[in-house]
Amino acid sequence: MQAVKVGLLGLGTVGGGTATVLLRNAEEIQRRLGRAIEITHVAGLGIASQTIFDPAKVKLTEDAAEVVNDPEVQIVVELIGGYILARELVLTAIANGKHVVTANKALIATHGTEIIRAANEKGVTVAYEAAVAGGIPIIKALREGLAGNQIQWIAGIINGTGNFILTEMRDKGRAFDEVLLEAQKKGYAEADPTFDVEGIDAAHKLTILAAIAFGIELQFEKCYTEGISKITTVDVEYARELGYVIKHLGITRKTDAGIELRVHPTLIPRKRLIANVDGVMNAVLVQGDAVGPTLYYGAGAGAEPTASAVVADIIDTVRLIDAPAVYKVPALGFQPSALSVAPILPVELVKTAYYLRIDAEDKPGVLAEVSEIFADHEISIEAVLQKEPEEDEAVVHLVLLIQRVLEQNVNIAIAEVQALTSVMGEVVRIRVEHLGK
Amino acid sequence: MQAVKVGLLGLGTVGGGTATVLLRNAEEIQRRLGRAIEITHVAGLGIASQTIFDPAKVKLTEDAAEVVNDPEVQIVVELIGGYILARELVLTAIANGKHVVTANKALIATHGTEIIRAANEKGVTVAYEAAVAGGIPIIKALREGLAGNQIQWIAGIINGTGNFILTEMRDKGRAFDEVLLEAQKKGYAEADPTFDVEGIDAAHKLTILAAIAFGIELQFEKCYTEGISKITTVDVEYARELGYVIKHLGITRKTDAGIELRVHPTLIPRKRLIANVDGVMNAVLVQGDAVGPTLYYGAGAGAEPTASAVVADIIDTVRLIDAPAVYKVPALGFQPSALSVAPILPVELVKTAYYLRIDAEDKPGVLAEVSEIFADHEISIEAVLQKEPEEDEAVVHLVLLIQRVLEQNVNIAIAEVQALTSVMGEVVRIRVEHLGK
C-alpha cells in the first residue's frame, strides 16, 4: 500500500518531536500498521533553518495555508497552538477533506464543537490525544478502554508546571514565587505563567475530559478555575501534619443535579497513589462504576512524550483513513446525536470538604466562637489544629477540616467567621477531596 | 441497526459481572456505540438456578457447545477459564465465523498463536483485554495508545494475591504462610494458591504483554518464573532499611541480545510510584522510547473490574463487526507477517542488580572474605548492612546490594561465598530493579 501523506503545521518543540519520532520509529510503525507514514509537507516559521527534513524531498513552507490546501496531503497535523490561526487552518483542512490530528487543548476546548461538527459533516477524523496529559493515552482509555463503564468522576494532575511548583514547595519549604522563577528558568513555565498557575491550561484539558467521560458538549466557559498562586508554605505544612498533600487538580464529577467541572488547589490524603505523583509528571484518576478507580500516569508535556500521543493518533487515523464513519470511535466517544444536556453546576452548588485556616488573636474563646458558627450552620468539624506561628506570638492559626458541604453554605459560615472581631484578615480556604468511592 | 447478539460462556464471577454491567450500562453503551448489544445465549453449569436472565428471552444451556454452534450468535464471550475445553470452544466459535472475546490469560498465553492464526484465517476478531490486569486497559494502551513508541521495557504488578501478601508482610510484619491463609479466607487466593504465589498467573499475563510490546510470538514456556513463597519478613525489613520495597514483578525488556521475560520477587526503590501500589491492586509500568515511563493502575481482578475490560472488548468488536481486517488492530498489535524472531533470553543471560543476605558466624573477617570474592569477579558492592538478629547472637546477617551483573556471573560468586566455612546455609538472593531510565 502507498504511504499516507502527512502535512505538519509547526516545527517547534512538539512538531520537531513528532518529526523525530515518526522518522526514528518508521520501521516499528510499519510493522504495526502494515503501511508507511510519510511527512510530505511541513509549515513553520523560519523553516529555512530546519535540519530534520531534506528540502529536496519534503515541501517546506512558511505558509501553513499552502499545506492545508495542498491536494496531496491526507492528514494535517496541527502543532502551532493558539486559537485563531489554528482554528482557521483546521477548518480549512477539514473543508478540503483532510483528517486532522492536533495537540491543541485550547483549540479543542474552545472551538471543539464547531470543529467536530465540521469534521462529522465532511466525514473526516479529528484526533486530539496529545491535547490532554501529553503522552498518557487518557483519551483512548476514556473513549474506548473504559467504554463499558458509566464514568462517575475524574481527578487529574494535568498541568506539570503547577505540580512541579507544589512539589518543590512541599519538599523544600520554598515559597511559590521563588519556585515559579526556577520553573521559568528550567523552561517548564512560559514567560507569562498565567495559563499554567492560574489553572486555565488545566481547565482546557478538564473540559475535554468531562466531555468524553460523560458525553456532553465541550463547555470550557463554564469551568470553575482557581490557581495556586495564593498557596503558602504554611498551608502546605499544616496539610502535611493532617496527613494530606496539596495538589492542583482538575475535577469533574457527575451528580444527580448536574456535572461538576472545576480546577483548584485540593488537599488529598497522602496515602492515595495520585498524591505521590510529583514534579512535572501528570496523572489522571478515573472512577468508573464497573472498574472502580484506575489511574494513568506519565509525562504531560515535552517534545517526545507529546509526540508519542500525536503519532498514536496518526496511526489510528491511517488505519481507518478510508473507512466509513460507523467504524470509527466518535470524536467525543459518544454518538453526536446522543450527547447529554446535563448542566454544568455553578461552583456554589458543588459539595466538597474544606481545609480552613483562620488567623486570630491569641486570646481565649476564639475556637468556641468559630465552632459555634459552624454548629449553627450544621457543618461538622472533622479535625482541628491550633498553632502559634513562630514569627508572631500574638496570632494563632486555627486550622479546621470541615465535612462535605455545599459551597454556598460554607460561604455564609466563613463570612460570619471573618466578621468576628478576633479574626484577622481573610480565612484561607482550600477544598479537600478524599478520592475514595 | 439491529442489536448484536452475544453468547456468554460461563456465568461465574466474571460472567455474572459481565452480564450485570452489560445490562446496567446498556443505555450508556448504546449512546457510545449507536447500537445495542444483547446477550441472547448463556451457557453455564447449574444454569437453571441463575437469576440474571429471563429464560423466556435468553437461551440458557449447560452445554457451551450449543452456544458456539448456534448460527444466531455473533460474538462468543469465553469466561469459563482453563485450557482444554476453552480452547476447543473458542476454536469452534472461530471456525463458525464468530468473533471471540475472552478473559482467559492461560488460554491466550499457551494457545494464543493457534487461536489467533485461526481467527486471522477466518477473518474474525479475538479480543483479550481482560486477560491482563483485569480492568486496566493495558492491552489497548500498548497496542494503540503507545503505538508510536519502541517499547523498551515493562514491569508490572500483575497478580493481586501476591501483592496483597507482600503488602501485609511489609506493613504488619506478618509471615508469608499466615497472610496466605488470610488471602484464601478472603477469597483472593484459590484453595491451590500455586498459580498466584509461584508466579504462573503473572507469567501468563507477562507473556501476553511481551508479545504485544515487542511484536513477538507468545512464548509462555520460555518465561522464567520464581514465586514469593520464600520471601521472609527479615528480608522485607532489610529492604525497607535500604530504601526499597519487595514486589512480585513481571518484567520484560528488549535488549540487543534478546528479550528478557521473567517473573520474580524484586526490590524496587520506595520512591517509585509503582512501589506505592499496595494490596490487591495491579499496576503496569511501561517505558517507551518517546513517551518515557507511563503507568497504568487499577483493579486486576474481581467481577465488575474484569467485566469492564470484557465489555470494552465487546464494544470494540461490535464497532468493527463487519469491517475488513485492514481496519482492525492486529491481535498482537503488529501485522502477523511482521512478528520479530528476537529470542527470549535464558535467565542466566539476564543482567540485574541483586540483594544478597549471607548468614554467617559472628567472627572477624567474614566481610573481608565475602568482599574479596566479589572483587575477584569484578562485581561492585553498592551497599552493605550488617546485623545481628535478636534471636541468635552467634549469627550475623550480612546484607549486600551488588551492581547490575549477568546472572551466570553472580551464580559463580554466590557459590564461592556459600563454600566459605563461616557462611551458614544458602545465600538469599533477590533481584533489584531501579526502574529508572
Which helix (H) or strand (E) segment holds residue A292: the answer is: strand A292-299
Closest chain B residue to the Cα of A145, Cα to Cα: B137
**Would you say residue A344 lies in a domain?**
no
pLDDT at A437: 62
pLDDT category at B393 given cuts 50, 70, 90 is: confident
Task: Please identify which of the residues B98, B205, B222, B247 carries the catalytic annotation.
Answer: B205
Place of cell 462517575: A152
Arithmetic mean of pLDDT, A293-321: 97
pLDDT at A1: 82
Q: How close B67 comes to chain A (CA, Å)? A: 23
**Would you say residue A227 lies in a domain?**
yes
> At residue B389, does pLDDT exceed 90?
no
Cβ pair A260, A351 in contact under 8 A: no
Are B316 and B383 part of one and the same domain? Answer: no
Amino acid at B320: L
Residue range A98-132, pLDDT digits in tens: 999 999 999 999 999 999 999 999 999 999 999 99
Are A145 and A244 part of one and the same domain? Answer: yes
**The domain that contains A263 carries what CATH number?**
3.30.360.10
Arithmetic mean of pLDDT, B129-134: 97
pLDDT at A394: 85
Task: Please identify which of the residues A98, A105, A140, A205 carries the catalytic annotation.
Answer: A205
> At residue B188, does pLDDT exceed 90?
no
SS3 state of residue A390 = coil
- Long-range contact list for A369-372, CB < 8 A, 24+ apart? A369/A420, A369/A422, A370/A398, A370/A400, A370/A417, A370/A420, A370/A423
pLDDT at B388: 80
Closest chain A residue to the Cα of B297, Cα to Cα: A295
* CB contact residues (below 8 A), chain B span 117-176, against chain A: 129, 135-137, 140-141, 144-150
Are B185 and B287 part of one and the same domain? Answer: yes
Subunit contact B290:A338, Cβ cutoff 8 A: no
Q: Which of A316, A347, A344, A363 is nearest to A143 (CA)?
A: A316
**Would you say residue A173 lies in a domain?**
yes
pLDDT category at A396 given cuts 50, 70, 90 is: very high
Does B254 participate in catalysis according to the annotation? Answer: no
Taking CB atoms and an 8 Å cutoff, what residues of chain A touch B289? 24-25, 304
Residues 6+ apart with CB under 8 A from B215: A28, A31, A32, B332, B333, B334, B338, B339, B340
pLDDT at B301: 94
Closest chain A residue to the Cα of B270, Cα to Cα: A276
Cβ pair B53, B38 in contact under 8 A: no
Are B267 and B332 part of one and the same domain? Answer: no
pLDDT at B189: 77
Are B95 and B59 part of one and the same domain? Answer: yes
Are B175 and B121 part of one and the same domain? Answer: no
Which helix (H) or strand (E) segment holds residue B244: the answer is: strand B244-254
**The domain that contains A28 carries what CATH number?**
3.40.50.720
Residue range A200-218, pLDDT digits in tens: 999 999 999 999 999 999 9
Among A150-154, A188-192, B211-215, the least confident range? A188-192
Nearest CB to A146; choose among B149, B308, B319:
B308
pLDDT category at B437 given cuts 50, 70, 90 is: low
**Would you say residue A343 lies in a domain?**
no
Percent of chain B with pLDDT over 90: 94
pLDDT at B394: 85
Number of domains in chain B: 3
- Residue A30, chain B, CB below 8 Å: the answer is yes
- Eight-class DSSP state of A81: -
Helix axes B407-418, B366-376, angle to 10 degrees: 150
**Would you say residue A272 lies in a domain?**
yes
Closest chain B residue to the Cα of A214, Cα to Cα: B28
- Residue A408, chain B, CB below 8 Å: the answer is no
Nearest CB to A273; choose among B25, B28, B297:
B297
**The domain that contains A421 carries what CATH number?**
3.30.70.260
Are A282 and A310 part of one and the same domain? Answer: no
> At residue A237, does pLDDT exceed 90?
yes
Subunit contact B297:A294, Cβ cutoff 8 A: yes
> At residue A290, does pLDDT exceed 90?
yes
pLDDT at A188: 81
Are A367 and A254 part of one and the same domain? Answer: no
Subunit contact A292:B304, Cβ cutoff 8 A: yes
pLDDT category at A41 given cuts 50, 70, 90 is: very high
Subunit contact A292:B299, Cβ cutoff 8 A: yes
Domain that includes residue B20, residue range: 4-135+303-338
Are B122 and B152 part of one and the same domain? Answer: no
Cβ pair B398, B360 in contact under 8 A: yes
Residue range B289-299, pLDDT digits in tens: 999 999 999 99
pLDDT at B391: 73
- Residue A273, chain B, CB below 8 Å: the answer is yes
pLDDT category at A93 given cuts 50, 70, 90 is: very high
End position of a domain, from candidates A283, A312, A338? A338
Residue range B197-235, pLDDT digits in tens: 999 999 999 999 999 999 999 999 999 999 999 999 999
CA angle B259, A27, A76 (to 5 degrees): 135
Nearest CB to A292; choose among B140, B305, B330:
B305
pLDDT category at A161 given cuts 50, 70, 90 is: very high
Q: How many CA atoms lie within 13 A of A9 on its CB side?
A: 30
**Would you say residue A235 lies in a domain?**
yes
* CB contact residues (below 8 A), chain B span 332-361, against chain A: 333-335, 338, 340
**Would you say residue A363 lies in a domain?**
yes
Cβ pair A287, A293 in contact under 8 A: yes
pLDDT at B190: 74
Q: How close B411 comes to chain A (CA, Å)? A: 36
> At residue A280, does pLDDT exceed 80?
yes
Taking CB atoms and an 8 Å cutoff, what residues of chain B touch A136? 294
Taking CB atoms and an 8 Å cutoff, what residues of chain A touch B4? none
Taking CB atoms and an 8 Å cutoff, what residues of chain B touch A308? 146, 148-149, 288, 290-291
Are A142 and A290 part of one and the same domain? Answer: yes
SS3 state of residue B187 = coil
Are B151 and B295 part of one and the same domain? Answer: yes
Are A96 and A168 part of one and the same domain? Answer: no
**What pTM, to 2 d.p., does this model score?**
0.97
Percent of chain A with pLDDT over 70: 100
**Would you say residue B274 lies in a domain?**
yes
